[in-house]
Amino acid sequence: MALVTAPTKACAVNPLKMSQPIGGAYAFMGLRGAMPLLHGPQGCTSFGLTLFVRHFKEAIPLQTTAMSEVATVLGGYENLEQAILNIYNRTKPKIIGICSTGVTETNGDDVDAYLKLIRSNHPQLAKLPLVYVSTPDFKGAFQDGWEKAVARMVEVLVDRPSANGLWYPSKVNVLPGCHLTPGDLDELRVLLEDFGLCPSFLPDLAGSLDGHIPDEFTSTTIGGIDVDEIASMGRAGWTIAIGAQMKSAAEVMQAKTGVPFRVFERLCGLHPNDEFMTFLSEISGRPIPLKYRRQRSQLADAMLDAHFHIGGRKIAIGAEPDLLFDLSGMLHDMGAQVTVAVTTTQSEVIERIRTREVLIGDLEDLEGLAKKTHCDLLITHSHGRQAAARLKVPFYRTGFPIFDRLGAGHQISVGYRGTRNLIFEIANLVIAHREENDRPTPDRWRTAPGLRRCSGDGSAAAAERSIA
Amino acid sequence: MSSLAATVQNIFDEPGCAKNGSKSEAERRNGCTRQLQPGSAAGGCAFDGAKVALQPFTDVAHLVHGPIACEGNSWDNRSAASSGSDLWRTAFTTDLSETDIVFGGEKRLCKAIKEIIDKCDPPAIFVYQTCIPAMIGDDINAVCKAASQKFSKPVIPINSPGFVGSKNLGNKLAGEALLDYVIGTREPDYTTPYDINLIGEYNLSGELWQVKPLLDELGVRILCCISGDGKYREVASSHRARAAMLVCSKSMINVARKMEQLYGIPFFEGSFYGIQDSSESLRQLARLLVERGAPTDLLGRTEAVIAREEARAWAAIEPYKPRFEGKKALLMTGGVKSWSVVAALQEAGLELVGTSVKKSTREDKERIKQLMGQDAHMIEDMTAREMYKMLKGAKADIMLSGGKSQFVALKAAVPWLDINQERCYAYMGYVGMVKLVEEIDKSLSNPMWEQLRRPAPWEALAKAREQMQSAMAASASDPALAETARRASKICVCNSVDLGTIEDAIYRHGLRSVVAVREHTNVVGGCCQRRIEGMFVSEPSDMRQAAE
């Protein structure tokens, strides 16, 4: 059991956290022909947009109700109405996903009521799904926004199956957490199909943000799951939720449609994938394909090769709860010590992280603790680059945003193969860093990092940490 | 100290701005940005603008008072460069929670200021107001005043909550804060007759350092740059400069004009983008300094430097002329840059098929007309879809624009170059323009484009099959008809060259490139380039057999 501590500082320094509304908007980006809309001042959208563009190197559909000071005082009805009509007329979306922001939550805009009024005033919108989710900036984090948005989508868009309706046992709903990349979703899709299953991903970022070149120019999302397909999710045999954050959406699905679910909190590492494969084999009634037996063996071999480099490493990791739980679990299983763990928001998984203490904090905390405990591998998103440079330790970028490296959307961590490649990548970082910085010389043997690590024994490090 | 609303009104009434001056009274009251359209708005908010304008002050702690979105979603996203402190790259925010919003965030702000002073002890702290604390009535002016006294350190309120307006307005509000609280609060260690201020220059990608050596050589000292690579001490004492240059942007014109009013510092609007513009700016700087009492030999020395640098730059661009022949560029950027870059690109031999004038003033447009002729294609506003069509239709060989429209070009498989603030290359000054030309050449001559424009194998196969079938069917029934059809289909419209002629030439001489086709036939290879390229790709041998 890890001790979970909350921040005591008044000033967050180098935030790890990003806001709820853009997490919600991100979920809507996995729907085909969608236009996510932030109900708030234009800056909320503009910052989010820039962040997504820098991460994915893609055009991002994201609009704003452009709340001005006056509109904030008078209430946002007119702005919301105009925004929806403008989007409807200009871009012909198949769905508009609306997320509130701090401003419109603080002034108390009743968006659900607004939407009813807008619908009654504009009958042309009758067939356009409008999904609203409340995501104030001053609560929660990116992952919470995603979680709420997906639960809302299930609530609003999935049809309740009729009593004598058809039911497809091979159809499987997959509710992926926001820590999975488009590359992860593609990997999972192939995997499920290899078991003869027919998956529907909600949301499906692999269709929209996998970095492909569309035939035509559209200002909405260029792919993703179709609204009609979402409606039919109630006829699936199973729902697979990936990451603890997706449990609530899976529960909503079960309550509404009766489709049973199973949550896979982790899909990175040998054991989690064994469980996953077993489950797929059970629900599909097929043996695990030879391809995956081979991949499992390759992963085992990769673990053998890499444990020399990852084993014993002191790791400082900062990520959103589900990603933190998944990655730190895999690294712990490889013999690394998760020495510092920092996350953004509350979650049921964080106290089960294999470390002493999990701090809900920022990158200043991560950097300070990493320095104090002599961590020798830093894992967080791109904003950790300044800390890594100061700490002079190898730095593995993961999560969101990754803006200073390419291919963020195709970084894979799920499955035997994904885990294998991830292990290689981290081990290679460690090797490269050692070759560049830790070449032995005749006069540095007394200060060699290995020795220093041995002398500062576990209890001393723990004492240091408890002071922090 | 006036209220925020009064400050905003005051800013909109800017006598120094030509565009503003040409407006009617009512228009002016509406401000200098178009009214935002909910659902089709783009661009940052006033807070964004204020942060952009001031963040390049490198030794200042920039503290954002607001919920996580304002700083958490946006920090460390600019490429301004520092020659010293890296403090500006550290993000500080009060990360307001629900409780703060209920009980007010002032205490938290005060504590945050203290924490920063304890940890970093910066020369000053800039506190940025955002929407939510503005709504709930957090008085940051009062907190900053109290904190300044308590900690004996300048704590400057930047009152620019996002919802008051656009990014541009935020730039100006940031300027007002500097005028109200910072400029003139200290004296420089020493002054020289060659002291200047640069206003509105952010040293993105360190591009200021491509111009600074020239100023150093002339003995001109940048007393303060607002705000690229700037330091708090410098801006506080910037009122002692002898002259100022408002760099390439009207966004901080209020600062330049008021400094002229208050401290008698004459200024001019100039740009270091483009060769002639760089020369003109150096000349103006020298002239203003001499007028303010600098020795007159500065003028002659400046001319000598200009002559040398221009000669070098033109010589460096010369080799690209033949390479750029017949290449067309589309320039989508705002304001001054729309004409200051035009000249350089034209000099390098590029043809400009259009330039955006969305943010340009009437003067800017006049200059564009002078440069590009009366029928210059000036684009007021262009949707992404129109842009995409234009590029996909090969109306331009390269697009130069800001980052937001990059995917319009790239997804149409057309070369694109970033010339706005997020770019990674520095294009300022003489060397910068040469660099820009180099980059354009690198992009245009990249063999990747040709591969990307090729159809995918399945498309090529389908097309070949279709052509073969139709050609065989046609020629089987009537070879003469096929031949007539081939002769009637014009590929090069400009010189009226038909499909048959080109196909025959390709087949007879085994041609593999547009240039080669041009040698053997009369084709121009400009607008028809893609169509001819398409013929190499499909290369359906059966079709030719059928034709013969």
Query: What's the CA gap between B159 and B147, in Å, rounded?
Result: 16
Please give the residue range of the domain that contains residue A82.
20-139
CA distance A340 to chain B (A): 21
**Are A120 and A53 in a shared domain?**
yes
By C-alpha distance, the chain A residue nearest B46 is A43
- Taking CB atoms and an 8 Å cut-off, how many pairs form between chains A and B? 204
Residues of B in contact with A72 (CB under 8 A): 131, 135, 163
Residues 99-158 of B with CB under 8 A from A: 100-101, 108-109, 111-116, 119, 131-132, 134-136
Largest CA distance in chain B: 98
- Which of the residues B52, B62, B64, B73 would you substitute to probe the A interface, choosing the one with the greatest number of A C-beta atoms within 10 Å? B73
Give the closest-approach CA distance of A243 to chain B in angstroms.
23
Q: Which of B95, B160, B404 is most worth mutating to test chain A (most A CB atoms within 10 A of its CB)?
A: B95
For residues B167 and B174, what is the distance between their CA atoms, to the nearest angstrom? 10
**Whole-number pLDDT of residue A73:** 94
If asked whether residues A259 and A219 sit together in one domain, one would say yes
| A301 and A280 fall within a common domain | no
ipTM of predicted complex: 0.92
A323 lies in the same domain as A417: yes
Q: Are residues A127 and A75 in the same domain?
A: yes
Note whether residue A163 is domain-resident. no
Kindly list the distances between the CA atom of residue B280 and the CA atoms of B194, B302, B366, B404, in Å, as whole numbers in the listed order: 18, 10, 18, 31
Same domain flag for A113 and A256:
no
> What distance in Å separates the CA atoms of residue B515 and residue B538, rounded to the nearest whole number?
18
Mean pLDDT lowest for which of A171-180, A410-419, B60-69, B523-532?
A: B523-532
Cβ distance A50 to B421 under 8 Å? no
For chain B, give every domain's residue range.
33-182, 195-311, 325-422, 454-547
Q: Choosing among A14, A42, A56, A390, which should be mutated to test the B contact, i.e. which has the most B CBs within 10 A? A: A42
Which pLDDT value is given to residue B335?
Answer: 54
| Mean pLDDT score of chain B | 86
Residue A4 lies in a domain: no
Among the partner residues B97, B98, B411, nearest to A213 by beta-carbon distance: B411
- Do both A204 and A256 map to the same domain? yes
Residues A285, A198, single domain; the answer is yes
User: How many structural domains is chain A composed of?
Assistant: 3
Helix, strand, or coil (residue B379):
strand
Chain A residues lying within 8 Å of B69, measured CB to CB:
18-19, 21-22, 44, 47-48, 101-102, 137
pLDDT attached to residue A444: 73
Residues of chain B found within 8 Å of residue A10, distances taken between Cβ atoms: 94, 108-109, 111-112, 114-115
Q: Which residues of B touch A43 (CB under 8 A)?
A: 44-48, 70, 131, 162-163
B304-332 in b/e form (b: 16+ CB < 10 A) is: ebbeebeeebeebbeebeeebeebbbbbb
Which own/partner contact pairs does B309-317 have at CB distance under 8 Å and 24+ positions apart?
B309/B214, B309/B278, B309/B279, B309/B430, B310/B275, B310/B279, B310/B430, B312/B430, B313/B275, B313/B430, B313/B431, B313/B433, B313/B434, B314/B275, B314/B347, B316/B434, B316/B437, B317/B344, B317/B347, B317/B348, B317/B433, B317/B434, B317/B437
Residue ranges of alpha helices (H) inside B478-540 are 479-488, 499-509, 514-520, 529-538
Please report residues of A whose CB lies closer than 8 A to that of B93. Answer: 11-12, 15
- Among the partner-chain residues A106, A138, A219, the one whose CB lies closest to the CB of B97 is A138
Supply the CATH number for residue A302's domain: 3.40.50.1980
Residues in chain A where the model's pLDDT stays below 50: 451-468
Instruction: Mark yes or no for CB contact B47/A43 under 8 Å.
Output: yes
Residue that terminates a domain, selected from A270, A289, A308: A289
Same fold, B195-311 and B325-422: yes
Question: What count of residues does chain B have?
Answer: 548
Chain B residues touching residue A343 (CB < 8 angstroms)? none
Whole-angstrom distance, CA of residue A209 vs CA of residue A162: 34
Would you state the pLDDT for residue B34? 58
Q: What is the pTM of this model?
A: 0.88
Q: Please give, rounded to a whole number of angstroms, the shortest distance from the CA of B199 to a CA of chain A.
A: 24
**What pLDDT does A133 receive?**
98
Lowest mean pLDDT among A319-323, B131-135, B143-147, B247-251: B247-251
CATH number of B33-182: 3.40.50.1980
> What pLDDT sits at residue B226?
94
Q: Is residue A261, in this structure, part of any structural domain at all?
A: yes
Find the residue in A nearest to B39 (Cα). A83
Q: Does B44 touch chain A (CB under 8 A)?
A: yes
The answer to whether B411 contacts A59, with C-beta atoms less than 8 Å apart, is: yes
Q: How confident is the model at residue B544 (pLDDT cuts 50, 70, 90)?
A: very low
Structure tokens at B402: 């800001």
Tell me how far CA of residue A268 lies from CA of A242, A325, A412, B434, in angstroms: 11, 10, 9, 49
- Interface contact B407-A63, CB threshold 8 A: no
Q: Where are the alpha helices (DSSP H) in A125-246?
A: 142-157, 182-194, 205-208, 227-231
Give the minimum alpha-carbon distance from A161 to chain B in angstroms, rounded to a whole number: 35
In a domain, A10, yes or no: no
* Residues A303 and A446 placed together within one structural domain of the fold: yes
Mean pLDDT of the B150-166 span: 96
Q: What is the DSSP letter of B166?
A: B
The CATH architecture of the domain made up of B325-422 is 3-Layer(aba) Sandwich (3.40)
> Poorest-confidence range of A222-226, B1-5, B237-241?
B1-5
Contacts of A103 in chain B (CB under 8 A): 131-132, 135, 163
Residues A401 and A444 in one domain: yes
**B69 touching A (Cβ < 8 Å):** yes
Residue that is last in its domain, among A289, A305, A322 = A289
Higher pLDDT, B538 or B39: B39
Q: What is the pLDDT of residues B351-365, one digit of tens each?
A: 888 877 766 667 777
Domain at B195-311: CATH code? 3.40.50.12380
| A31 Cα to chain B: minimum distance (Å) | 18
Q: Which of residues 290-329 of B touch A (CB under 8 A)?
A: none
Backbone phi, psi, residue A378, to 5°: -110, 130
Instruction: Identify whether residues A431 and A340 lie together within a single domain.
Output: yes
Worst-scoring range by mean pLDDT, B39-48, B287-296, B500-509? B500-509
In the predicted structure, residue B424 carries a pLDDT above the cut 70? no
| B123 preceded by a cis bond (ω within 30 of 0) | no
**Tens of pLDDT, residues B299-350:** 999 999 999 999 999 999 999 989 999 899 888 876 555 566 777 788 788 8
Q: What SS3 class is residue A11?
A: coil
pLDDT bracket for residue B480 (50, 70, 90): confident
Q: Which residue of B has its CA nearest to A77?
A: B38
Contact B39 A217 (CB under 8 A): no
On whether both A344 and A368 belong to a single domain, the answer is yes
Residues of A in contact with B50 (CB under 8 A): none
- Rounded distance, CA B480 to CA A62, Å? 57
